[in-house]
Structure formats: C-alpha cells, structure tokens
Structure 1
Amino acid sequence: MTVAASPHRLCDVTLDETIGRSTPDVEHERAVAIFDLLEENSFAPAGHPGGPYRLKLSLVEAKLIFSITTEDGAEVATHILSLTPFRRIVKDYFLICESYYQAIRSATPSQIEAIDMGRRGIHNEGSQTLMDRLQGKIAVDFDTARRLFTLVCVLYWKG
C-alpha cells in the first residue's frame, strides 16, 4: 500500500493565527516543512479507524495544540502538547545549525561532516521526544516525527 493510499496519513496541515506571521525566510521554511510532512507521513490518532486527516496547529502559551479532523472536517481529537520538554533540544539544534552554516564557509569537509552528524543527532533526539510525547495519542513513524519536529523548530525560529 502506498502512503497516498493509506488512511493513516495527513492530507493537510495548517498553522492558525496564534502562530503568527514572520519574515519571508521563516514563512518559506514553514511552507517547506509542511510540504515535506505532507509528501510522506504516517499519522494515526489513537482509537480512530482512519483518515486521511487534517492537522491544525496552534500555540497557546507554551503549548502546541494539535486539532485533528478528517479530510471532510469531522472532529477526531484535540491534543495539547507542552513545548517545555523541547526548549533545550530546539536551542541546541539552533546553535549547532548556526555552527553548521558558519562551517560551510570555511571549515574542512570532515569538520562540516562532524557538525552535521551532531545536528542530525540532536534532530533525532527531538524527533524521539516528540514520538514519546505523542505516545498513546497519535501514532507516527520516526520519519513523520522528524518532519513534525522540523515544523516545531520552524515555529520557534525568528529568522
């Protein structure tokens, strides 16, 4: 069964007005993160027979709200996820990304590769944390968790 044929997938992701608009660069990164997520994902809210699903993300204080409906708009679930467990990971991720972009200009290929391995490791840590936090609420595979974590990071990014 192809991903597109699976009923356990996202067909739409939107960011509501609580997330706010940002610089053109940040808006572009958000659009790319959403595109990548929609391109390939595995998304199965607990106890629901299948979608495809629409996901609306909102930010309220330090919480990320997952509002899930079916493709035709029927409500499925709303989950509230504290972003506090992600603060350190996202901060570390941004720091190493900054180092990576600086290294591209002047470092040796082996130095760039080492920084990139660290960047991927922190990204994987964030993805696993996201999977753990969604456990029992929404089943996602690791690749989908990676794409969702990318989107969480872009929500923090100020450009």
Structure 2
Amino acid sequence: MSDHRLSAVDLDMATLPPATAEIEHERRVAIFDLIEKNSFEPEGAPGGPYKLKLSLQDNRLVFDIAGEGAHEEYARTYALSLTPMKSVLKDYLLICDSYYEALRGSSPSQIEAVDMGRRGLHNEGADALEERLKGKVAIDHETARRLFTLVCALYRRG
C-alpha cells in the first residue's frame, strides 16, 4: 500500500527572509500541521512518504521532492513561476499585516472582519497553488492551504 504523504518539510534558509515572531510562529505551525496531516501524491510516484524542500530561485517556487524508505530512489524537482500567483500573494501579505496590526489594538469585530478577508485570500492562494501543481503533484485543499502559508513565508520581503 502506498503512503502518499509528506513526512518532512524544510524551507531553504538561504532564500527565507527575516520574520517577525508572529510570522515565525505561523511557519512552525504550518509545518507541524502539514506533517501531521496531508495528502501529497507526485505524478508517477510509486509511493511515499516524501521529504519536501521549498525554495525560491529566480522568481520560481521550487519543490524538491525525495522519496523515503522503500521509495528513496524517487526524486523530482518542480520549478513553478510565481507570476500567476503574485497578485494573491501580495494581497494576502498586505491583509496579514493589517491583521497583525488589528490584533494590537482594534475591537474584536474589526479583528474578525480583517480575519475573514485574510481567510478568503488564503483559500484563493491555496486554490491557485493547487492549480499550479496540477499534473505534477495531487494535493487536497488542507495541504494546499498549509503549503500556501509556507510559500508566503518564502515570498515575504523582510
């Protein structure tokens, strides 16, 4: 029986911009949640689990995928242009900044309104990522959401 899931996720520290405490916490939570529960099936892979390293190289999002255990010979690298996702990435990062600012002094209803917008853009980004990976890696929506959080961590400018 195949085990199409991620068992390890790393972000390329060389391409990772500095982060605030809130952003670093989101990164750690996203990686933890992703490893705990995910669906990740690279096209043509015999089975997992897989190790994933995410990085940014020349304005491309790079997925370095390696098999583990009985399938450790499996290795693929996909470099995806960020251009189709730039708009949602920028909008999401702007609303995240607004959300963190709202947490520092806004009313609960204002925080909730900003958070609803943030979640909507997060879903849009996850859908865009899922679309970009189509034909390369099959992922479910929750996996796409957590991966999008990590893509934002890489994309964010210090």
Given that 2:17 and 2:157 are in contact with CA atoms closer than 8 Å, whether structure 1 keeps it comes out as no
Give the letter for the 1:87 counterpart. K
Query: Shift of residue 35 of structure 1?
Result: 1.8
Question: Which residue of structure 2 lines up, in the alignment, with residue 22 of structure 1?
Answer: 18
- Give the 3 Å change call, closer, same or farther, for CA 21–109 of structure 1 in structure 2: closer
Residue in structure 2 matching 1:44, options 41, 45, 62: 41
Is 1:32 the counterpart of 2:29? The answer is yes
Identity of aligned residues (%): 58
Q: TM-score, normalised by structure 1?
A: 0.85
Q: TM-score, normalised by structure 2?
A: 0.86
Given that 1:18 and 1:59 are in contact with CA atoms closer than 8 Å, whether structure 2 keeps it comes out as no
Given that 2:92 and 2:118 are in contact with CA atoms closer than 8 Å, whether structure 1 keeps it comes out as yes
Which shifted more, 75-84 or 146-155? 75-84
- Give the 3 Å change call, closer, same or farther, for CA 69–100 of structure 1 in structure 2: same
- Give the 3 Å change call, closer, same or farther, for CA 95–77 of structure 1 in structure 2: same
Q: Which segments of 5 or more consecutive residues in structure 2 lack a partner in the other structure?
A: none
Give the letter for the 1:13 counterpart. V
Is 1:70 the counterpart of 2:67? The answer is yes
- Give the 3 Å change call, closer, same or farther, for CA 113–27 of structure 1 in structure 2: closer
Q: Which segments of 5 or more consecutive residues in structure 1 lack a partner in the other structure?
A: none
Residue in structure 1 matching 2:57, options 60, 63, 75: 60
- Give the 3 Å change call, closer, same or farther, for CA 63–102 of structure 1 in structure 2: same
Give the letter for the 2:29 counterpart. V
- Give the 3 Å change call, closer, same or farther, for CA 107–23 of structure 1 in structure 2: closer
Which shifted more, 99-108 or 140-149? 99-108
Given that 2:3 and 2:47 are in contact with CA atoms closer than 8 Å, whether structure 1 keeps it comes out as yes
Q: Count matched residues.
A: 155
State the superposition RMSD in angstroms: 2.2
5 Å-filtered alignment, 1:9-158, equals: 9-16=5-12, 18-20=14-16, 22-23=18-19, 25=21, 27-72=24-69, 73-158=72-157
